[in-house]
């Protein structure tokens, strides 16, 4: 399933850029039916999932058990609840009159589900060819006998270990997009997918559910150059550790072009 920003990007291409379903599917590298699903979608509300009534006696207590199982994930393994302990608490604190075996079966099943949910939540950190990472850094350059602070937009390619940089005066949207444009021109192509931090030049706000609101300029820029933007989870800079290292390297060298490898970047021509 595509992430919400990707879904909205498909809708944007269809509604605002007059892309056909086939063009969206090709640009995003997705199935035609998936492209049509989100391009023509009108209801963006989160679907309400009904809990299956497989536990008629345990039903009123499922939310309580789920809360305990979720809370215990932060505890060391030895301190977590046994199914018997959960059963005893239900009886003592909530007057549960069902059987212990029913509780044990549900706890075992629910723990497996939670384990899968945690596994699915981890981001893939390896990056194939054609993917880039972008971040801002700060450097000091000599100008008229003084050290002047400049912001540096760094774009790196984990697959080939290459990187490009462009200095700007500020980290605002206009400077950010101009630097991206200059780097594209310097490379002679556009990455298929670019990973960003939640920088204010592109992201206006992040809701509690992780949904991002983007600046109009950034959405139009991404649509114009036809790259797929991806954003790291909040407080998860390690997800773009490659560009973080390049920012540090660029700070020390002041280099505007650092071709560290000879592999093809797999870029789409501009």
Order of strands, edge to edge, in the sheet holding 146-157?
Answer: 228-231, 193-196, 131-143, 146-157, 162-168, 257-258
- Read off the pLDDT of each residue in 241-257 and give the average, rounded to a whole number: 45
Positive or negative, the CA dihedral 255, 259, 261, 266 is positive
Report the range of poorest mean pLDDT among 41-55, 90-104, 187-201.
Answer: 41-55
* Residues 6, 127: Cα–Cα separation, whole Å: 18
Question: Is residue 175 within 8 Å of residue 163, measured between CB atoms?
Answer: no
Q: d(Cα 142, Cα 31) in Å, to the nearest integer?
A: 52
The structural domains of the chain, with segments of one domain joined by +, span: 4-39, 59-121, 131-258
**Percentage of the chain with pLDDT > 90?**
11
Predicted model pTM = 0.43
pLDDT in tens, 1-31: 677 778 878 888 888 888 899 998 888 888 8
Looking at residue 261, what is its pLDDT?
Answer: 30
Stronger pLDDT, 244 or 96, i.e. the higher one: 96
pLDDT for res 86: 92
The predicted pLDDT at position 182 comes to: 92
* Segment among 67-71, 165-169, 237-241 with least mean pLDDT: 237-241
The set of residues, in sequence order, having a beta carbon less than 8 Å from that of 26 and lying 6+ positions away, is none
- Apex 13 CA angle, 11 and 15, nearest 5: 65
Treating both helix axes as pointing N-terminal to C-terminal, what angle do 83-94 and 62-71 enclose, rounded to 10 degrees?
130
Q: Does domain 131-258 have CATH number 3.30.420.10?
A: yes
Q: Residue 141: helix, strand or coil by DSSP?
A: strand
Task: Say whether 199 sits in a helix, a strand or coil.
Answer: coil
The 10s digit of each residue's pLDDT in 80-120 is 889 999 999 999 999 998 899 999 999 999 888 887 766 55
């Amino acid at each position: 399933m595509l992430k919400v920003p990707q879904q909205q990007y498909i809708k944007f291409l269809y509604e605002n850029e007059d892309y056909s379903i086939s063009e969206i599917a090709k640009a995003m590298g997705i199935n035609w039916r998936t492209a049509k699903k989100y391009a023509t979608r009108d209801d963006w509300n989160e679907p309400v999932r009904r809990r299956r009534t497989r536990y008629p006696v345990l039903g009123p207590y499922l939310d309580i058990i789920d809360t305990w199982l979720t809370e215990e994930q932060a505890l060391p393994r030895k301190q977590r609840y046994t199914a018997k302990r959960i059963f005893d608490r239900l009886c003592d604190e909530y007057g549960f009159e069902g059987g212990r075996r029913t509780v044990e079966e549900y706890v075992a099943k629910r723990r497996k589900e939670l384990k899968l949910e945690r596994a699915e939540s981890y981001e893939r950190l390896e990056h194939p060819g054609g993917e880039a990472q972008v971040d801002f850094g700060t450097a000091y350059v000599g100008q008229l006998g003084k050290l002047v602070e400049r912001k540096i937009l760094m774009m790196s390619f984990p697959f080939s270990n290459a990187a490009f940089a462009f200095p700007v005066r500020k980290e605002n949207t206009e400077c950010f997009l101009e630097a991206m444009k200059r780097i594209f021109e310097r490379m002679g192509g556009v990455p298929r997918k670019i990973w960003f931090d939640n920088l204010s030049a592109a992201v206006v706000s992040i809701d509690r559910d992780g949904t991002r609101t983007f600046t109009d300029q950034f959405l139009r820029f991404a649509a114009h150059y036809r790259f797929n933007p991806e954003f790291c989870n909040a407080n998860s800079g390690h997800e773009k550790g490659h560009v973080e290292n390049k920012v540090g390297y660029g700070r020390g060298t002041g280099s505007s072009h650092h071709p560290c490898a000879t592999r093809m970047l797999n870029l789409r021509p501009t």
